Amino acid sequence: MWKWLLLIAAVYVLYRLFANDFLKKTKTDEKEDAEEMERKVAAGEMVKDPECGVYISADAEITVRDGDKTHRFCSYDCRDKFLQRLKEGGRQLPPEI
């Protein structure tokens, strides 16, 4: 009978080790994803949508030119909201495309 208890204990310990590893790995992956994103932003490959904060490719086609700066958006919805916000703030920019 004690053999069974030992086996169950061993399986439980293995299970805990495996579960811990799995959780640790998931957390590391998330951290690496965030670091990868920061690297892409720093390299100019990705830009942040100023309206909703989503990261998008730096060659996204939905843009608004603001002087020598170009804002890029994930959707026309975001671009329109951004322009609306500027308008309410007393600025008006012509939408591109």
| Chain residues that interact with Zn ion, rule: CB under 5 A | 49, 51-52, 74, 78
Q: Give the side-chain half-sphere CA count within 13 A for 18.
A: 6
Q: Which is nearer to Zn ion, 3 or 69 (CB)?
A: 69
Other CB atoms within a 10 A radius of the CB of residue 56 amount to 17
Nearer to Zn ion, 34 or 54 (CB): 54
Minimum Å distance from CB 82 to Zn ion? 9
Query: Both tokens of residue 82?
Result: 């951004």
What is the maximal distance between C-alpha atoms in the chain? 81
The nearer residue to Zn ion, 31 or 65, going by C-beta atoms, is 65
